[in-house]
């Protein structure tokens, strides 16, 4: 199964480079392990405008291009929430993942978790720009299996991740899930 997952990830990466990134979509992969949650969130270039708008409203000043780069991490952290047992989790670290193209930005965020408890993920990134047209795609993987997936929108911004593992999914279901996330 590990080989198939690697092939799938490479295909998705290639298609992302060829097809470009929809300016109204974010894509998030969440990897759940025994005591850690790793989130990889990819945002289109429009996140720069969302960060400018958000901080302009907060601070009353127009934010320049150079200042926007400083605010991007803060913007993502103020719009992407993970909670467990009704308590917001604080990220242990957040790193930018270098990309070969300039039409999106990608971050890796790590959280310590208790695997025995359910998780709640909320993604509000870009909602202030696109409202009901915004789509935030999330897929949760555990031990090479998709255990949850959702397209979050203005009407439904929350994904519940149960504590118990679900049954393994077939390769066909895994591929169709990725295809629908990329081409909806």
CB 148 within 8 A of CB 69: no
| Residues of the chain under the 50 pLDDT cut | 5-8, 10-19, 165-169
Q: Are strands 80-84 and 25-32 parallel, antiparallel or unpaired?
A: unpaired
pTM: 0.72
Structure tokens at 139: 């897929």
pLDDT at position 18 is 43
Structure tokens at 140: 């949760």
- For residue 75, what are the domain limits? 2-183
Number of domains into which the chain is organized: 1
Order of strands across the sheet that contains 93-97:
93-97, 104-112, 36-44, 25-32, 135-142, 145-152
- What would the DSSP string read from start to end of 59-82? HSSPPPHHHHHHHHHHHHHTTEEE
Please name every residue paired with 148 in a beta bridge, in sequence order, or none if there are none: 140
Q: From CA 47, how far away is CA 60, in angstroms rounded?
A: 19
pLDDT at position 89 is 94
pLDDT at position 91 is 95
pLDDT at position 149 is 85
Q: From CA 98, how far away is CA 89, in angstroms rounded?
A: 25
Tell the residue number behind the tokens 């300039």, with chain if given: 102
First to last CA, the chain: 26
């Amino acid at each position: 199964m590990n080989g198939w997952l690697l092939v799938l990830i490479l295909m998705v990466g290639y298609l992302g480079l060829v097809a470009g990134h929809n300016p109204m979509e974010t894509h998030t992969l969440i990897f759940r392990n025994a005591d850690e949650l790793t989130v990889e969130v990819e945002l289109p270039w429009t996140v720069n405008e969302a960060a400018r708008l958000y901080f302009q409203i907060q601070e009353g000043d127009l934010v320049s291009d150079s200042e926007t780069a400083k605010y991007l991490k803060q913007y993502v952290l103020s719009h992407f929430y993970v909670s467990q047992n009704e308590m917001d989790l604080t990220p242990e670290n957040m790193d930018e993942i270098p990309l070969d193209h300039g039409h999106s930005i990608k971050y890796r965020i790590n959280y310590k978790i208790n695997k025995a408890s359910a998780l709640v993920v909320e993604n509000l990134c870009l909602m202030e720009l696109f409202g009901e047209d915004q789509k935030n795609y999330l897929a949760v993987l555990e031990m090479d299996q998709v255990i949850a997936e959702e397209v979050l929108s203005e009407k439904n911004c929350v994904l519940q991740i149960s504590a118990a593992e679900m049954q393994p999914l077939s390769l066909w279901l895994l591929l169709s899930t990725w295809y629908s996330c990329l081409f909806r």
